[in-house]
Every structure is written in structure tokens, then in C-alpha cells.
Structure 1
Amino acid sequence: MHSSLRARTAAFAVLLALVVAVVFTVVSMMLVRNTLLDQVSNQARSDFSNQVVQAQYSLESADASENERYQQLVASVASSMQQDGAANLVGVYLWSRSTSGNAIVPISTEPTFAPLISDEMRSSVAGSTDGSVFYQPVSLTVDADTAGPPGAVLGTILEFGPVGDLELFALFSFATQQESLGRIQLNLAFVCLALSAVMGVLVWMVMHSIVRPIKRVAATAETLASGDLDARVVEDRRDEIGTLQHSFNEMASSLKQKIDELEDIGVRQRQFVSDVSHELRTPITTMRMACDLLDTRRDGFDPPTRRTVELLSDQVGRFQTMLIDLLEISRYDAGYASLDLVDTDVREPIGMAVEQVAEIAAAKQVTISMVLPNVAVIVRLDSRRVIRIVRNLLNNAIDFSSDDRPIEVRLAANRHAVVISVRDYGVGMTDEQVGHVFDRFWRADPSRSRLTGGSGLGLSIALSDAWLHNGDLRVRSRPGEGTWFLLILPRDPKDGPVPDADLPMDFAGDGMRTVGGFGVSDNGMFELMRQEAR
């Protein structure tokens, strides 16, 4: 990303330098060209004017009395102008304006370019009466396919009494100036390219000096995000980058301080919960014994007292359950939780969990349907924790189940893992609620009457128990379709988590669909048995 930033900036600088250089070159060349043309045009006018004066003097001072002598004199004047003219004088052309017998034959020192003298130019010169000099830019083109160098035709009138006025034209070439202009253009183009390259290198070096410390800050930020709160940036700059380095280190120090404070608060809170839970065990046990004693004698009490004893017994039982859950959570937070692994037929803890919630299910008139293999499925697990997981899932299903459809408990197994499925067809949950289902003390409907009187910790403890087995607890739910939990347990937790591809079944996508099948997988055959509990 940083290299790309440097490259983009350098490319932009080169492009900008090229644009500026091209604009500068075009403007400069226009100014140079105009200035050069003005100079050579003025010089050509000056040279031509001097030659006109000299030619006029030669004609006036000559002594010629015959037509042939007139022709020779005019030819001599044209030849002198050609020889004595400037180096860029291409040709001299003379025409007689007289139509009498004394008219001279047109003279041309370079007949090749005679057609460049246009009729308009000749008309302008012919119509002149005051000896003005006329100027016309031309291109010295020999044929139509080849563009020649620029030039100019200058024309005026020479007075020659014996034969009348003469039309004088001179053709000048600007080829040398054009070559100079081309060299200037080539030099400017080279300077533009060199300037752009230098600009790109300079920008690259400047960006490198800026990006390199920022890259170090980014790398340190990644290290800090990975958990190394002692990571710091070396403060080796005194500019804005140095301010960034100092600010980052200040932020990292403040963040470490806040995290340390939060961790200390968390430790104290967990310790407080653990201490309070342990301290409450003795009074709760005493209260439980007292309630049991009262409960054995409640038949001798009057109805209001009997009802009071029942309520007291229920609430003490709920309090005791919550206390047990808090103690379990404190063990997980403190890192003291451990497994008592024994090779067990996984059908047994499932059946025991169903038996433990049977009375609650009967009170709510909810049917629990078990579909289990009719062969033993031996798994290395902690039965107490698996019973608790399934019991918590069943309690949750009973609270939110539908009265007309049973809760389904199924088992899928292969040589890698077992998957226990608990599904109800009750009210279901939204995606947002599913995201909080394992949060501590969270309930999908706090106002709902709950026969189980849960503490809000059951599913959180169930997920922790599953993780302790190197397994997982997954859930899917849709409003109106119910909720579906899959408890994934490896055959041996010591082998580590089982990849999803090796599971006997799993959820397919985000919907209420699964891949795989229930039962014991053996070459695609499944053996099942069905039980129902009310």
C-alpha cells in the first residue's frame, strides 16, 4: 500500500511536470518563433531595401542607348543583387511594366521558385506608385508532396526611364532559422523529459522519507493490536511525523494504562462474585434445609401459610441455582474449570438431561421427541457437563416452544465427532437476538413468564462447557420457525477441535438447513431408534 502511494505520487508529479513543461515549451516556442520571424523579416526588408537603393543607383547612372544594352544592364543589376545579397537570398526576379518595343525580357536568377511569386503579389507591386516594399510569406516548396522551409517574397518598383518602370522581386529563405528553431525545440523537449525524471526521483525520495516512518508506526500499531501493549515507536523526528510518533506512543501508553485498569477491575469483580458466591453457600444451604423442613410439614399449615412455604421453597431453589451458575462462571473466569473425561455412551447423558426436565415439560404440556441410534455411541466426555449443556438447551426450548409441535432431540455421529441436535418450533429469534443468545444475563424476552426461572447464565455456561471439550455450540433461528441448536463434541477432546468438513452434520449457510444426516455413519447406513418423553 505504501509503495503504491509512493508510486502514485511520483507518477502524478512526473505527469504534472510534463504538463507544465509542455505548456512552457509551447508558449516559449511560440514566443521564440514570433521573435525569430520578426527578426529575419526585418532583416530581409532591410537587406532588400539596401539592394533596391543600390539597383536604382546603378540604373540611373548607366549609359545605355539601345534595347540590347538595356537588357544587359538589367541582367547585370539582377546578377549584382544576387551576388552581393544576403546569404539567405534565393533569387532575384525582374519584369518590365512597359508594353512598348523597349520592354525587356523577364530576368530570373533562380527560375525554380519563380511560381512562388503570386499574381496577387504582382498586382500589388504593379499598382504601387510610391515605391513601397511589399512582403509575402511563402514556403519554398519544389513539389506538392514535400514541404519546404519557410521564406518570404519582397517586391517593389524600380524606375528605369528608357524602358519604363521595372517590377523587382527578391526571394529569401528562412531555412537556417527553421533549423535553429528545431534544435531549440529538441533541446527544450530533452530538458522537459530530464526535468520530469528529476522531479519524479525527488518526489519518490521525499515520499519515501515520509512513508517509511509512517510504515513503522503502522507496523507498531499492528503489533499493539496483536496484544503486545509494550510496543512503541522510536521518536527520531522533530517535524509533523515526529508529532505523530509522540502522539502514538502517548496513545499506546494511555491505552495500556486503561486496559490494565480494566483488567484489574475485571479481576476484582470476578473475585468479588466468587467470594460472595462462596460466602452465600452456607446461608443458602441453611435456608434450603429450613425450607425442606417446612415443606415436610406444610400439610398441617393453613392455606395462606402453605402457599407462602411453596413460594419460599421455589425462590430459595432459584437462588440456589443462580448461585451454582455464578460459582461455575467464576471458575471459568479464573481458569480453574477442568474436565473429568470418561468413555461414555453419549445416549446416556442425553437421556438423563431429558428426564431432568420431564416434569417442567409436562407442566407446560410440551412433548420431547428423542431420535437416537440403537447402538452405543462411545465418546470420551464429562457426563456432568454434557448433561448440563443438554438440560440448558431443553430448558430454553421449553420456555419458547410451540404447544402443537414437539421438541426434537437427535444425534449424529461418525468416527470424528458427535453432534447433538435440539430443535423447537416456537417463536424463534431475529438475527440480532441470535447474536446475543450466549451473552451473560441476556434474555430474548425479559417480560416473558418463565417456568424454569433461569438466571440468564445457562447458555453462556453451555457454550463454555462445549469449548472446554474442544467442541462448539451453534444456533440458527427464524421468527415463527423456532430455534435450532447443534452441540458439537469430538470423540476425544485431547485430539483437538474437529474441522467442519469432518463433522457428521452441520448447518448449511445462514438458514435452517443442514448438511449431513442423523444416526451413526457407517458407509452411508444409519440405525435409529425413537423415544418420546412427556
Structure 2
Amino acid sequence: MKLRTYLLLSSLTGIGVLLICLFVSYSKMLLSIEQFYWLSGITAGVGLFSFILQYVMTRPLERSIARISEQTITIAEGDFDTEVPVIGPREFKLLAEQFNGMSLRLKESFDNLHHSESARRELIANVSHDLRTPLASIQAFVEALEDDVIKDEETFQRYLNTIRLETKRLAGLIHDLFELSSLEAKGELFEPQPCHADELLISTLESFSFHLAEKRLAVEIDLPDKLPAAMMVPAQIKRVLSNLLQNAIQYSPEEGKITLSAAEEGRCLRISVKDEGEGIEAAETTRIFERFYRIDKSRGKNNGGAGLGLAIAQSIVEHHGGEIGVLSTKGAGSCFWFTLPIYSN
């Protein structure tokens, strides 16, 4: 039974009971037959008018419910770009607003689900490719050694060195995947402590002294006389600095310059690593912190890492309650920066 039919039957039943009671009451009164007919006619007319009024007023309710039913079917078919008109009585307006809000949340949930599924497929494809490449190289060189086709000692040692490098590359990729997974699952013990970033910058820079000298890169350090301590896990922030500095060294030209700077910015400490490389296109900067995303789409073994370094850096910084980003202009170098909350007593 439709809601409108149910309401009309309920109204008709109530009116009928009321009319019967009135007619019985009229019959017990000391009324002339003419007065009885007049009162009965007026009562019947009022009852009929009430029924017609009830019939007309329930029409908008029926339409509102029909609209919600139609939109529900539309959503069930997978179309979330739909809204119910917010009209009718207050309760139906509230119902329409709640329905529209539910539809919007469902659309956002399904969009996120589709995005996550696409990201999952891309992640699996990238992991498979980056694992398969060193494994294929190792297999090829091992088979060549097993077949005893290498006779001279120099080539033999070169093959062994290649196997060692590919094994190290494979181990590094697996370590990065494990670290990223641990960070996203918040599985590591996180106990930040006040630490001075200038000491961390110097110690990180010293570990890259060989790579800097190899490309004859100059380093400029821009630090204020007094730098406040920041809340951090030193080993994790050193990993962030190492990733940023490694990228700066990789993309800097020979005899270029890298600038490390730190400054107080509001209630945060901002640390920057600037290089004089080729820079990044504006369209690339929005995706550069994604897992496995690389500006250079080629996948040769000499084209850098697996594209996990910046994703790991982002996870660490955000876990500390900071932000990370890049300022870059194509042909004018890049400046990677991140912030950390300042220690306050």
C-alpha cells in the first residue's frame, strides 16, 4: 500500500468515526427534523471538504517520496551525480538534505576507492618491473658464468661486480619498500626529541663528501647565528636530508652549487636543499612525491633509484607533523624544503 493511500484511508476512517458520533449525538438532541438535516448536511460537507483537503495536501508528500525513490535507483545503478530537490515540508527538506549529503559522501568514497585501486595496480606494476630488472641481469650474468663462456679474469671480475651491484640494488629496493610500509603502518617507535638541525645538516653533508668531490660541487650553508631546536627523531630526519641531498647531487651539473639552509618560520623550522639542476616542470611537481614516480620515465639502471626516496621523505615529515614541498622552475634548478615543529619548553 502506498503511503498516500494509507494516509487517506486513515483520514477517511477518522472522519467517518467522527461523523457517526455526531449523527448519534444529533439524534439524541431535542432538534426538529429540519435542524437535524441541516446540522447533518453541514457536518457531512465539512467531512467531505476535510477529505478533499487531505487528498490535495498529501500530493506533494507523494511527489517528494517518489523523487527520493527515483534517485535511490539512480545511485544503485552507479550514478552519484544526482541531487534531490530540497522542497516540501520541513521534515522532507531535512530528509532531502541528508540524502544529498549521503550521495556526496558515497561519491567521494567510490572516487577514493577507484583512485586507490588504480594506485594499487600502478604500484604492483612498478614493483614488479623494478624487481624484475635486477633479477633478469643477475640471472643473465650467472648463466654466463655457469656456462663457462668467460675465459679472461678481467671480464670474469666485471661480471661478478655487476652481479654484486644488482644484488645491492635489489636489496636497497626491498629495504625502501619495507621502510615505506612501516612508516605508513606507523609500526616504528616514534619518540621525537629536541634536536638542533645545524648539527644534523653538517653530519649528513659529511657523509656525502665523496660524491660532492666526485662532481666537483660547491656547497653553501646558510644558517642563522641562533637556530631553535626542533622536535624530531634524528635518524629519520637524517634519512630525509640524505634523500634530498642525494637528489640534489644527482641532478646538479658538474662544478655546480648546492645550498643548504635552515630558518625559523613561525612555530616551525624550515629546512631547504637547493640545486642548480635542470628544474622540474610545473605538472611534475604535483606528482613527484608519489611512490615510484620518476621524472625520467626511462628505466635503465643508471637513471637513479626506484622513485621511493621522496615518498619516504614525505611520510617521515608528515609523521613529524610537518610539511614537505618543492619550488622549481624548468631550467633554473629546484629547491626542496620541509618543516618541523619547533621545541617549546
Q: TM-score, structure 2 length as denominator? A: 0.58
Q: For structure 2, which runs of at least 5 residues remain unmatched after alignment?
A: 1-55, 81-102, 139-151
Are residue 245 (structure 1) and residue 72 (structure 2) matched?
Answer: yes
Q: Which runs of 4+ in 1 moved over 4 A?
A: 252-269, 448-452
Residue 365 of structure 1 deviates from its aligned partner by 2.7
2:283 aligns with: 432
Identity over aligned pairs, percent: 25
Q: How does 1:124-135 map to 2 (within 5 A)?
A: none
2:16 aligns with: none
Distance 2:207 2:174 in 1: 19
The one-letter code sitting in structure 2 at the alignment partner of 1:474 is G
1:395 aligns with: 246
2:33 aligns with: none
**Residue from 462, 465, 468 that aligns with 2:319:** 468
Residue 457 of structure 1 deviates from its aligned partner by 0.5
CA contact (8 A) 1:347 1:377 kept: no
Distance 2:199 2:212 in 1: 19
Distance 2:244 2:269 in 1: 16
1:372 aligns with: 223
Change (3 A) 1:242 1:350: same
CA contact (8 A) 1:366 1:407 kept: yes
Q: Which has the larger radius of gyration?
A: 1
Are residue 480 (structure 1) and residue 307 (structure 2) matched?
Answer: no
Change (3 A) 1:318 1:362: farther
1:295 aligns with: none
Distance 2:199 2:317 in 1: 17
* CA deviation profile, 1:253-286 (whole Å, cap 9, x unmatched): 99799789879979999xx99xx9xxx9xxx9xx
Are residue 305 (structure 1) and residue 132 (structure 2) matched?
Answer: no
CA contact (8 A) 1:438 1:463 kept: yes
Residue 455 of structure 1 deviates from its aligned partner by 1.8
**Residue from 310, 315, 320 that aligns with 2:171:** 320
The one-letter code sitting in structure 2 at the alignment partner of 1:242 is S
Residue 450 of structure 1 deviates from its aligned partner by 7.5
Change (3 A) 1:314 1:375: farther
CA contact (8 A) 1:338 1:468 kept: no
Distance 1:326 1:356 in 2: 23
Distance 2:283 2:120 in 1: 31
Change (3 A) 1:379 1:333: closer
Distance 1:454 1:467 in 2: 22
**3-state DSSP of counterpart to 2:157:** helix
CA contact (8 A) 1:466 1:487 kept: yes
Are residue 344 (structure 1) and residue 171 (structure 2) matched?
Answer: no
1:447 aligns with: 298
CA contact (8 A) 2:326 2:334 kept: yes
Q: After the TM superposition, which of the residue ranges 303-312 and 251-260 deviates more from structure 2?
A: 251-260
Q: How does 1:90-105 map to 2 (within 5 A)?
A: none
CA contact (8 A) 2:276 2:334 kept: yes
**3-state DSSP of counterpart to 1:247:** helix
The one-letter code sitting in structure 2 at the alignment partner of 1:358 is S
Distance 1:432 1:303 in 2: 46
Q: How does 1:254-269 map to 2 (within 5 A)?
A: none
**3-state DSSP of counterpart to 2:210:** helix
Query: Cα RMSD (Å) of the superposition?
Result: 4.2
Distance 1:470 1:412 in 2: 17
Q: For structure 1, which runs of at least 5 residues remain unmatched after alignment?
A: 1-204, 214-235, 288-300, 496-534
Higher strand share goes to which structure?
Answer: 1
Distance 1:445 1:392 in 2: 17
Residue 247 of structure 1 deviates from its aligned partner by 1.7
CA contact (8 A) 2:227 2:264 kept: no
1:456 aligns with: 307
Residue 340 of structure 1 deviates from its aligned partner by 2.9
Q: How does 1:198-209 map to 2 (within 5 A)?
A: 209=60
* CA deviation profile, 1:170-206 (whole Å, cap 9, x unmatched): xxxxxxxxxxxxxxxxxxxxxxxxxxxxxxxxxxx99
Residue 249 of structure 1 deviates from its aligned partner by 4.4
Residue 461 of structure 1 deviates from its aligned partner by 0.8
**3-state DSSP of counterpart to 2:340:** strand
The one-letter code sitting in structure 2 at the alignment partner of 1:310 is N
The one-letter code sitting in structure 2 at the alignment partner of 1:344 is C
Aligned length: 240
Q: How does 1:147-296 map to 2 (within 5 A)?
A: 209=60, 213=64, 236-237=65-66, 242-251=69-78
Higher helix share goes to which structure?
Answer: 2
Residue 432 of structure 1 deviates from its aligned partner by 0.6
Change (3 A) 1:348 1:317: farther
Larger RCO: Structure 1 or Structure 2 (Cα < 8 Å, ≥ 6 residues apart)?
A: 2
